Amino acid sequence: MSAYDTDIPGLVTSLDDGVLRLTFAKPEKRNALDDDVVAGLIDAVDTAGRDEAVRVIVLAGEGDHFCSGFDIVSRNAAGAPRPRAGSIQRRLPSQAHRLIPLILRTQVPVVCMVRGWAAGIGLNLAVAADFTVAASDARFWAPFVGRGFTPDSGATWMLPRRIGDVRARDMILLGRVVDGAEAADWGLVHAAAATDDVDEVAEELIGRLAQAPTVALGLAKWLMHSGRTSPLDDHLHDEAFAMELSSRSDDFKEGLKAFTEKREPQYRGR
């Protein structure tokens, strides 16, 4: 039995050849997430970060859409018990506000494949991923303010850093919907492709990452993330630490050997 096997409705997991696929599977709700799915994602990403068998994490949605956000309709359905005051600020740190930092910090590259809507937390997952391949007609949307509440799951931290303050205000304060082609042009996502070509483009990228020097890749990701808030001297210290670790890896030895032998390296992720 795999550590990633789950019976959570709305989440399908699989691990094959170093690629952990986490698929949202509620197409009738445009793959809206609920508490159980978020908890399952947290467990899977956290475990993958320590699992030497995992070299890439892939997030995708079943059907025509990636993820339309959190299923707040079900949570606020008529007859549902009303929580006591303060429930949101108590709940979020262990749910969505744990998931997004995990994706940003895990030393495993994360790839998103987006078709249709990526809204709310779906948008934020796509932005938090290291690489997002989107259909040119996909729709990225931060619906929070337009629905009368404020953003969560890192939207106001990630979007200004990714696309700048002016474009972030368009999306967050004015609710502008950005299609996949424009998202790629802005640098919001890694690449845009025709809907029928998303799988091919994404799988080529996934294959490259799965065959990359995993230790160096993960440490480089860590450096880019931590460097956003580190003074230069601290960051240079971190770079020296990361170089020390990566140069002790088997993949470093293979890369050096392949260079001297003038051939392509065969990295094993160790």
Contact present, 267 and 209 (Cβ < 8 Å): no
Answer yes or no: do 73 and 201 share one domain. Answer: yes
- pLDDT band with cut points at 50, 70 and 90 for residue 5: confident
Count of other CB atoms within 10 angstroms of residue 181: 17
Phi, psi (degrees; rounded to nearest 5) at 225: -70, -50
- pLDDT band with cut points at 50, 70 and 90 for residue 1: low
> What is the pLDDT at residue 73?
62
Answer yes or no: do 46 and 113 share one domain. Answer: yes
Q: How far apart are CA 119 and CA 142, in angstroms?
A: 6
- pLDDT band with cut points at 50, 70 and 90 for residue 75: low
Question: Is the residue at 6 inside a domain?
Answer: no
**Given a cut of 80, is residue 94 above it in pLDDT?**
no
Which one-letter amino acid corresponds to residue 215? Answer: V
**Given a cut of 70, is residue 211 above it in pLDDT?**
yes
Answer yes or no: do 245 and 194 share one domain. Answer: no
Q: Give the structural domain span for 256.
A: 214-260
Q: What is the DSSP string of 85-103?
A: TTHHHHHGGGTHHHHHHHH
Tell me the whole-structure pTM to 2 decimals. Answer: 0.92
Answer yes or no: do 148 and 119 share one domain. Answer: yes
Question: Is the residue at 234 inside a domain?
Answer: yes
> What is the pLDDT at residue 76?
57
Task: Choose one of 192, 210, 228: the last residue of a domain.
Answer: 210
Task: Choose one of 169, 192, 210: the last residue of a domain.
Answer: 210
Which one-letter amino acid corresponds to residue 160? Answer: P
Q: How far apart are CA 112 and CA 66, in angstroms?
A: 9
Answer yes or no: do 114 and 230 share one domain. Answer: no
- Classify burial at 49, counting beta carbons within 10 Å of its beta carbon; exposed 0-12, middle 13-18, buried 19 or more: middle
Contact present, 93 and 35 (Cβ < 8 Å): no
Pairing of strands 131-135, 110-114: parallel
Question: Is the residue at 269 inside a domain?
Answer: no
Q: How far apart are CA 190 and CA 13, in angstroms?
A: 24
List the CATH number of the domain containing 132.
3.90.226.10
**Given a cut of 70, is residue 77 above it in pLDDT?**
no
Answer yes or no: do 199 and 222 share one domain. Answer: no
> What is the pLDDT at residue 87?
72
Question: Is the residue at 265 inside a domain?
Answer: no
Place of tokens 């020390």: 244
Answer yes or no: do 236 and 116 share one domain. Answer: no
**pLDDT tens digit string along 157-205?**
999 999 999 999 999 999 999 999 999 999 999 999 999 999 999 999 9
- pLDDT band with cut points at 50, 70 and 90 for residue 102: very high
Answer yes or no: do 136 and 50 share one domain. Answer: yes
Task: Choose one of 191, 210, 229: the last residue of a domain.
Answer: 210
Element (H, E) at 198: helix 198-210
Question: Is the residue at 83 inside a domain?
Answer: yes
Q: How far apart are CA 41 and CA 47, in angstroms?
A: 10
Answer yes or no: do 96 and 190 share one domain. Answer: yes
> What is the pLDDT at residue 250?
93
Using a pLDDT cut of 90, give the percent of the chain over it. Answer: 85
Question: Is the residue at 173 inside a domain?
Answer: yes
Q: Rounded mean pLDDT of the chain?
A: 93
**pLDDT tens digit string along 32-47?**
999 999 999 999 999 9
Question: Is the residue at 268 inside a domain?
Answer: no
- pLDDT band with cut points at 50, 70 and 90 for residue 67: very high
Which one-letter amino acid corresponds to residue 193? Answer: A
Q: How far apart are CA 135 and CA 198, in angstroms?
A: 6
Answer yes or no: do 161 and 250 share one domain. Answer: no
**Given a cut of 70, is residue 79 above it in pLDDT?**
no
**pLDDT tens digit string along 120-169?**
999 999 999 999 999 999 999 999 998 888 999 999 999 999 999 999 99
Place of tokens 């170093």: 18
> What is the pLDDT at residue 80?
65
Place of tokens 């979007």: 159
**Given a cut of 60, is residue 68 above it in pLDDT?**
yes
Answer yes or no: do 35 and 157 share one domain. Answer: yes
Instruction: Please tell me the total count of domains within the chain.
Output: 2
Q: And the tokens for 73?
A: 């309709």
> What is the pLDDT at residue 204?
97
**pLDDT tens digit string along 236-263?**
999 999 999 999 999 999 999 989 999 9
Contact present, 112 and 60 (Cβ < 8 Å): yes
Q: How far apart are CA 220 and CA 161, in angstroms?
A: 18
